[in-house]
A and B are shown apart, each in its own frame.
Chain A
Amino acid sequence: MKVRTWFYSCIAGSSLLACGGAAVPQDSLTAAQADVKGAEVGGAADDPKAALHLKLAKDQIDKAQAQIKDGDNEAAARTLDRAQADAELALALAKEGKAQGDASEASEQVGKLRKEIAK
């Protein structure tokens, strides 16, 4: 690559990222926020363990936004990866909790029905 071509390339990309630095992790931010929303809709706020990870995900999104503001996009991207992992875990825990609750309820219903029939 000639020196001039390299120079123009740098000029063209300057609006998105500083030459040699990381881009703003907008996609990761959007994905993390969507995962948090998904976890909330999935009932994570109602399950104590899930709620803890939901809060961690939200805190890390806030932290990542602060890092972006400070221009530390690389650290922000990793923080958002953490946030996504926590949001996904929150949703998985909420689903697990709900499934366990449903299983217990179904088992109780069987017990009640058996008692009713035995009368």
Chain B
Amino acid sequence: MTKSFSSLAALYVLAGALAACGKAEAPQELMDARTAYAEAAKGPATDLAPAQLDTAKTSLDTAQKSFDDDGPSQKTKDLAYIAERRAEIAAAEGGREKAERKRAASDKDFKNTQMEGLEKTKEQLEAEKRAREAANQDVNKTKAELAAEKAARAEAEKRAAAAMASLQEIAKVKEEARGVVITLSGSVLFPTGKSDILPIAKEKLDQVAKALKDQGFKAIVVQGYTDSRGNATDNQTLSLKRAQSVRDYLVTQGIPSDKITADGLGSSKPVAPNDSADGRAENRRVEIVVTPADK
């Protein structure tokens, strides 16, 4: 279609040139109409406004015929004027159709872009939702961990309290600056002048070992003491042996050997006067000094 319209337009221009050789010169209106038609045929009207372009061609033919028949008459000029307008109308219609198609394409593009935008926004919202959910899960996890920790702490405290209560049934327990001091009477633990633990005393030491393990600790020192009777050196030796016996027995009951030591202090630190049988009995003792785990 484009090619045929263009060829026709070229023919009109050629016809005009030839006509000028043997006939009266074409009026300006007819030449303008030919040019307008040629321009329109080169533009979008060929494809997008063919009917209007055809009308323009018919108008130009009529004007040309009038010129052929009557020469550059007023009628020819009027017809050529109209033919020029028809060609311009065809060009304008082609331009309008082209612009409308461009607009339709943009509208479609706009809708597609809107959809893309919506998709993107949806994805962002979903990502935010996932992040929020993950954060909530973290919070819940932290809460659960805190609750578990709290429960574990409460359980440990309960165990420690139970251990302490259990200890208090078999020994004196005091909290001092050096740690928790568990005092066991020497007469309960050992035969007179010996460092072998009595079988009945082993049950008590089993309970002590269990309580120590339940409560937890950093370090333990077993200190042996005697009353003031007899030789001081012998007393020191006996107190150390007794302390070592207790220490070794506690190790056999699960107290780590690297955390427990023994010391013999003889009669150096009496807790009661040595001038009575009761006082001396109190001074013959083994103290288990426990450094708590949180110190």
A positions within 8 Å CB-CB of B:
53, 75, 78-79, 81-82, 85-86, 88-89, 92-93, 95-96, 99-100, 102-103, 106-107, 109-110, 113-114, 116-117
Can you spell out 23 A-B residue pairs with CB atoms less than 8 angstroms apart?
A75-B74, A78-B75, A81-B82, A85-B81, A86-B85, A88-B89, A89-B85, A96-B93, A96-B95, A96-B96, A99-B96, A99-B97, A99-B99, A103-B102, A103-B103, A103-B106, A109-B110, A110-B106, A110-B110, A113-B110, A113-B117, A116-B117, A117-B113
Q: Would you call B82 and A103 a contact (CB within 8 A)?
A: no
Which residues in chain B, 86-132, are within 8 Å of chain A measured between CB atoms? 86, 88-89, 92-93, 95-97, 99-100, 102-103, 106-107, 109-110, 113-114, 116-117, 120
Nearest-Cβ distance from residue B96 to partner chain A, whole angstroms: 4
Interface flag for B78 (CB, 8 Å): yes
Bound form: Cα–Cα A79–B78 in Å: 8
Contacts of B102 in A (CB 8 A): 103, 106-107
Nearest-Cβ distance from residue A95 to partner chain B, whole angstroms: 5
Q: Would you call A85 and B110 a contact (CB within 8 A)?
A: no
Are A113 and B82 CB-contacts (below 8 A) given A102-B103, A103-B102, A106-B107?
Answer: no
Bound form: Cα–Cα A81–B261 in Å: 128
Given contacts A85-B82, A114-B113, 16 further A-B contacts (CB under 8 A): A53-B85, A82-B81, A85-B81, A88-B85, A89-B89, A89-B92, A92-B93, A96-B93, A96-B95, A96-B99, A102-B99, A102-B103, A110-B109, A113-B110, A113-B114, A117-B116
Bound form: Cα–Cα A65–B84 in Å: 23
From B78, B92, B117, name the one whose CB has the most chain A CB atoms within 10 angstroms: B92
Contacts of B93 in A (CB 8 A): 92, 96
Contacts of A92 in B (CB 8 A): 88-89, 92-93, 96
Smallest Cβ-Cβ distance to B95: which chain A residue = A96
Q: Would you call A117 and B92 a contact (CB within 8 A)?
A: no
Nearest-Cβ distance from residue B168 to partner chain A, whole angstroms: 72
Smallest Cβ-Cβ distance to A57: which chain B residue = B85
B positions within 8 Å CB-CB of A:
74-75, 78, 81-82, 85-86, 88-89, 92-93, 95-97, 99-100, 102-103, 106-107, 109-110, 113-114, 116-117, 120
Nearest-Cβ distance from residue A24 to partner chain B, whole angstroms: 18
Bound form: Cα–Cα A86–B102 in Å: 27
Bound form: Cα–Cα A44–B82 in Å: 19
Give 5 closest A-B pairs by Cβ, nearest first.
A106-B106, A85-B85, A99-B99, A92-B92, A103-B103
Smallest Cβ-Cβ distance to A92: which chain B residue = B92
Contacts of A107 in B (CB 8 A): 102, 106
Nearest-Cβ distance from residue A51 to partner chain B, whole angstroms: 14
Nearest-Cβ distance from residue A71 to partner chain B, whole angstroms: 17
Q: Would you call A93 and B92 a contact (CB within 8 A)?
A: yes
Bound form: Cα–Cα A69–B120 in Å: 72
Are A99 and B100 CB-contacts (below 8 A) given A85-B86, A110-B106?
Answer: yes
Bound form: Cα–Cα A78–B243 in Å: 140
